[in-house]
């Protein structure tokens, strides 16, 4: 059984909705995103492509992209970030990738989203660990993972979405 998605005063996690396509299109076209290593939507994409991606996100585990969860503002329900949970080859583990709409950076969205999503995923899917892969040079993202309770572990694993030079941050049961 999948537990209801959690929330707090900073973010409310919810399932993606077709209406999120407009915000994600703006996100994908933001010049600042060209400097990021991960984006839930390919940079410079079209509105039709974004709508297809959102439709895929709405399929959940049945979709090819893993399970996507929106970080929304508690009052407005407006998308401010997105988290994707993908199972790793080890069936007892999953990787979380995330992105925050640039105008919402430095507001705790990523940290609070990870703090909410990771324990939810561990309990709801009977996982032993969740991981976040972060490039060594991304000190802010590394701090986000640490503040969310993740610990850096060196070592090789199979990854779907990150370069091999990235560090692995892990939260275990």
* CATH number for the domain that contains residue 38: 3.40.630.30
Q: Is 66 within the bounds of a domain?
A: yes
Q: Is 108 within the bounds of a domain?
A: yes
Are the beta carbons of 23 and 3 closer than 8 angstroms?
no
How many domains does the chain fold into? 1
Range of the domain at 137: 12-172
**Mean pLDDT in residue range 86-99:** 85
pTM for the predicted model, two decimal places: 0.79
Q: Is 2 within the bounds of a domain?
A: no
Q: Is 16 within the bounds of a domain?
A: yes
Q: Is 3 within the bounds of a domain?
A: no
Closest CA to 72 of 24, 139, 25: 24
1-58 per-position pLDDT tens digit: 467 899 999 999 998 888 887 777 776 666 665 555 455 566 666 677 666 666 666 5
113-127 per-position pLDDT tens digit: 999 999 999 988 888
Q: Is 3 helix (H, G, I), strand (E, B) or coil?
A: coil
Q: Is 5 within the bounds of a domain?
A: no
Q: Is 54 within the bounds of a domain?
A: yes
């Amino acid at each position: 059984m999948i537990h209801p998605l959690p929330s707090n005063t900073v973010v409310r996690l919810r399932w993606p909705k077709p209406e999120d396509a407009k915000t994600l299109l703006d996100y994908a076209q933001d010049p600042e995103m060209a400097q990021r290593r991960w984006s839930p939507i390919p940079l410079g994409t079209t509105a039709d492509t974004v709508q297809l991606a959102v439709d895929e996100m709405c399929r959940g585990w049945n979709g090819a992209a893993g399970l996507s969860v929106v970080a929304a503002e508690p009052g407005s329900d407006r998308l401010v970030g997105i988290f994707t949970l993908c199972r790793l080859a080890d069936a007892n583990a999953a990787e979380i990738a995330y992105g925050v709409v640039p105008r919402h950076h430095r507001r705790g969205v990523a940290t609070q989203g990870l703090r909410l999503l990771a324990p939810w995923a561990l309990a709801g899917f009977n996982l032993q660990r969740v991981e976040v892969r972060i490039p060594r040079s991304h000190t802010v993202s590394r701090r986000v993972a640490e503040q969310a309770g993740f610990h850096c572990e060196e070592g090789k694993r199979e990854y779907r979405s990150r370069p091999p030079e990235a560090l692995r941050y892990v939260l275990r049961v």
